[in-house]
Amino acid sequence: MRIATFNINGIKARLPRLIEWLEETRPTVACLQEIKSQDDGFPADEFEKIGYHAIWHGQKSFNGVAILADGVKPEETQRGLGVDGPKEGEGEQARYLEAHVNGVRIACLYLPNGNPHPGPKFDYKLAWMEKLRARMRELWQSEQPTIVTGDFNVIPHDDDVWSPKAMQDDALMQPESRDAYQRQLADGWTDAVRTLNPRGGVWTFWDYQRGAWQRDHGFRIDHCLLSPELADRLTAVGVDKDYRGREKASDHTPVWVELADG
DNA sequence: ATGTCGATTGCGAATCGA
């Protein structure tokens, strides 16, 4: 089976491109982030038409995550991590959704960006990562085949970015962000893209600004973390880079892992 | 030199978030 993650940056603006990608690459499971849609605006019918069943966790204007599966309805196991947003009285943002699909536990996340650093948004990012770590420990201990995937908004190493110097003040590569990410790996999770590309140089995001795509000024922030049960089944990873260059593209590309049958 | 997008408000163009 192939499990993909794709920060689509707006499901309404991206729908034709998203349908095109699903039909052309046909992932078994697709985890989406930044749907930027409320629950009742989610275009589930459009996915049903091409054979995908979905669950989603929406929010007005920003954030929002969804899990699509080919021919089977994802069985939701959790939504949210119980972290209030950075503004007073804001409540929780829609950033985490978890389900069972075909015997695999799927966690789809959109981790807070954290800019500007330092500040309340960065503090929120770190608090969110602490809650995520706690949930991932529970998942790990369940000993089920599990993937935690999505937009982590963390550049793990200097060779995961076109210019560490240009990005040095960004929340995506602060030592605190990186340390929190590395703690997840130390808990026993496998960064699938890193494992099969140990020298780095793989980008999953190119900014809309400053001609970043044309100059190949990108970095890697969309990750697939595998539990030991799934890491043993990993056969390939990929970035569907072609989609970044198309009309009305997201600023992220899809990233996927191929897993042998369990 | 925040140089581009998407959503929202509310019907043009500003604001916010990334």
* Strand B bases, protein C-beta under 7 A: 2-8, 17-18
Q: What is the pLDDT of residue A127?
A: 98
Q: Give the CATH number of the domain where residue A151 resides.
A: 3.60.10.10
Rounded mean pLDDT for each run of 10 residues along chain A, 262 residues in total: 98 97 98 98 98 98 98 98 94 98 98 96 98 98 98 98 97 98 98 98 98 98 98 98 97 98 88
pLDDT of A50-86, one tens digit each?
999 999 999 999 999 999 999 999 999 999 999 999 9
Active-site residues of A, by number, are: 110, 151, 252
Q: What is the pLDDT of residue A262?
A: 83
Distances (CA, A) of A78 to A22, A28, A109, A113: 25, 20, 12, 22
**Which residues of A does the annotation place in the binding site for Mg(2+)?**
7, 34, 151, 153, 251-252
Q: What is the pLDDT of residue A43?
A: 98
Q: What is the pLDDT of residue A189?
A: 98
Domain hosting residue A129, numbered range? 2-259
Alpha helices by DSSP H, A89-220: 120-141, 175-186, 192-196
Nearest protein residue to the C1' atom of B17, measured from CA: A62
User: Per the structure, how many domains does chain A have?
Assistant: 1
Q: What is the pLDDT of residue A171?
A: 98
Q: What is the pLDDT of residue A88?
A: 87
On whether the CB atoms of residues A121 and A93 are closer than 8 A, the answer is no
